[in-house]
Each structure stands twice: as structure tokens, then as C-alpha cells.
Structure 1
């Protein structure tokens, strides 16, 4: 098991980064918020979870151990795989997700693409007693500086992230338009993404 990776960042995507470890570029799938905290050329340290399949080895990275532990815990529920688990953390974050589970807030969980009412109830039933110890805020990647301001390209990036999380293209575009003036000019992509997610969950 690869529990963590640390090294200079060679590439930053919207939901993935490449971290150089011992001369090898490790592709790490992340939430958009975690990716936004990494910067090319700077060192990052990510808690990781390696998902092994017959035809693939996929590495998922997180800003802290609490986020990684939540990612692994939600997958103990039948029907929740790594992609859905990452989407859950992308939409809610570990603290908010833990709060929804312990409070039995199935309605909030149902707002996540891919989770229906029955799935939300099952998540609450199976995880309510497990997440208490995981309730904590992840720490930013080591050496990460605040994300650089984004210009108009943020629209395409946020739309792409929302579609990747399961919303339709129209839903994503409408949400982006609604939040275009909600954040100060020059805000980082992660800020617009959080605002758009809030709009979609109303």
C-alpha cells in the first residue's frame, strides 16, 4: 500500500496531479480542491490510497489523512466505489460529509450525483457509527501556496469538474453563470467551484 507521496509537482490538472517521487512521475487523482492547492514546481505531500483492480493500479491523493480515511470508509458500503467516494468528498469535504452522516441528513447526501434517496439512507445506516473518529479537517499539502488567481478560463474548468462529478452539461453551465459575479474578480478556481456546488445543492 502506498500511504503517501511527497515530491515536486510536475503537472496540475483540475482533478489530478503528477508528483515526482524518486524520478518517477506518480499520477494521483484528487478532488478539485486538493489539486488547486498544488502548484507546478513546488513540493507537495499527499496522503494516498492505492486502489488495485485486475487491470489497473489507481492512486488517489488527499490533503490529509482524515480525508483519505473518509474516502476508504465510505467504500465499505456496497455500491460505493472509488470514483463515487471521490465525488462525495469533492462535493462536501470530509467534515461536512461526516456531519451529514452522523446527523442522518440523507437529503444532503442525495444532492451528490450518483446517490439516490435509498443509497443515502443506506450510507447513513452503515456509516453513522463509523465516522465519528474521522471527523477532522485535512491539512493543506505541504509546501503548497494559495492557488493563483483564475481569469475567464475558470468557467470551462469549473464546468468540466461539475460534469465529471455527474451533473449534466446544462446544469453545470447554468450553475457557472449564476456564480460568475458571486466571487471577487480574480478568485481562484476552487472558490468558483465551491460556489457552483452550493448552487447545485439548493
Structure 2
């Protein structure tokens, strides 16, 4: 197993990045939030998981070891493959998933594209004692929550869009709401904003 990669970022795409390791460009699939932290030409380290199939070798990258662990554990649920596991982490943080499972929050799980009511029930049932307890860290205050909305805009700017285009996309995703963005919503809002922008940089 390739547990991690460290090297220079050659390119950042909407769903993956190319990182040069020892002269070899490695394609690493990751969540929008993880990709937003990468910059072409800059060094980077990602925790990774290699998924081996008969006809392919696919490398998935994560901001830290906790994300990778959750990625691997959720795939033990019947019907959950690596793509869906990555989508779960694109919408929820590791602790967000832990809270959803512990609290049997089916609505939160169904926010992940590809997970329906029965799938959410199966995830809660099969992961009940496997993800561990969420962090006991207190919820962020209003100022920190407001900063998270700005984090989504900053991430889009870092990926190449103008500040105005990024702000408009985030506002569109949030339906013009001016309320704060919760910690578990950052990745989901970023993912939706990227989809709304459609890969066209302003």
C-alpha cells in the first residue's frame, strides 16, 4: 500500500491532482477541500490509499491520516465503494460523519450524492461501532463560522477563479443566505460551487 506521497504539485484538477514523486507524476484523486489546499509548483504531502482493481490502480489522497482511515472504514459497508466513500468525505468532515452515524442522522447522510434512505440506514447500522466517537471540541463561535464562508471563496480563488465569480458561486449555492457556514458544510459548499462554476474560470 502507498501510505503517503510527498512531492511537487504539477497540476490541480476539479477531482484530482498530479504530484511529482521521484520524477514520476502521480494522479491522486481527492475531495475539493483537499485539492483547494494544493498549489501548482508548491510542495505537498497527502496521506493516500491505493485501490487495486483487475484493470486499474487508483490512488486517493487525503489531508491527513484520519480522513484516510474514515475513507477505508466506510468502504466496509456493503454497496460503498471508493468513489462513494470519497463523496462522503467531500460533503462531511470525518467528525461530521461520526456525528451523523452516532446520531442516526439519515438526512445528513442523504446529502451525499448516491446515498438514498436505505443506503443511509445501512451505513448507520454497519458503522455504528466502527468509526469511533467524534471529537469533543466545542462548536465554533459565530466569528469562526463566518470565516468558513470566506474559506470557500478563498479556496475557489486559489483554484483560479476570480473573487467575484467565487463569491457569486458561493452565494448561489447558499441561495443568497448570509448566515454562517458550519464546519461540516465547508467541503460540501465548495464541491457544489465547483459544480456550479462548471470548470470555467472567470
TM-score by length of 2: 0.72
Report if the CA contact (8 A) 2:8-2:19 is conserved: yes
Report if the CA contact (8 A) 1:179-1:192 is conserved: no
Which deviations, in whole Å up to 9, do the C-alpha atoms of 1:12-47 show, x marking residues without a partner?
112211111000000000000000000011110000
- SS class of match (1:77): coil
Within-5 A mapping of 1:123-202: 123-132=123-132, 135=134, 147=155, 148-149=157-158, 150-151=161-162, 154=166, 175-176=172-173, 178-179=175-176, 193=190
The 3 A distance-change label for structure 1 pair 180 and 103 is closer
Alignment partners' CA distance in 1, 2:187 and 2:99: 22
Alignment partners' CA distance in 2, 1:191 and 1:87: 9
C-alpha RMSD of matched pairs (Å): 3.1
Alignment partners' CA distance in 2, 1:14 and 1:114: 19
Instruction: Determine if the alignment matches structure 1 residue 45 to structure 2 residue 42.
Output: no
Report if the CA contact (8 A) 1:36-1:190 is conserved: no
What number of residue pairs does the alignment pair up? 167
The 3 A distance-change label for structure 1 pair 190 and 130 is closer
Please report how far the alpha carbon of residue 182 of structure 1 lies from its aligned counterpart in structure 2 after TM superposition: 7.9
* Structure 2 gaps, min length 5: 136-153, 181-185, 195-202
Please report how far the alpha carbon of residue 9 of structure 1 lies from its aligned counterpart in structure 2 after TM superposition: 0.4
Please report how far the alpha carbon of residue 178 of structure 1 lies from its aligned counterpart in structure 2 after TM superposition: 2.5
Please report how far the alpha carbon of residue 93 of structure 1 lies from its aligned counterpart in structure 2 after TM superposition: 1.8
* Structure 1 gaps, min length 5: 137-145, 160-173, 184-188, 198-202
Matching residue of 1:106 = 106
Please report how far the alpha carbon of residue 192 of structure 1 lies from its aligned counterpart in structure 2 after TM superposition: 5.5
Matching residue of 1:4 = 4
TM-score by length of 1: 0.72
Within-5 A mapping of 1:10-159: 10-132=10-132, 135=134, 147=155, 148-149=157-158, 150-151=161-162, 154=166
Matching residue of 2:147 = none
Identify the range of structure 1 (32-41 vs 7-16) with the bigger mean alpha-carbon deviation.
7-16
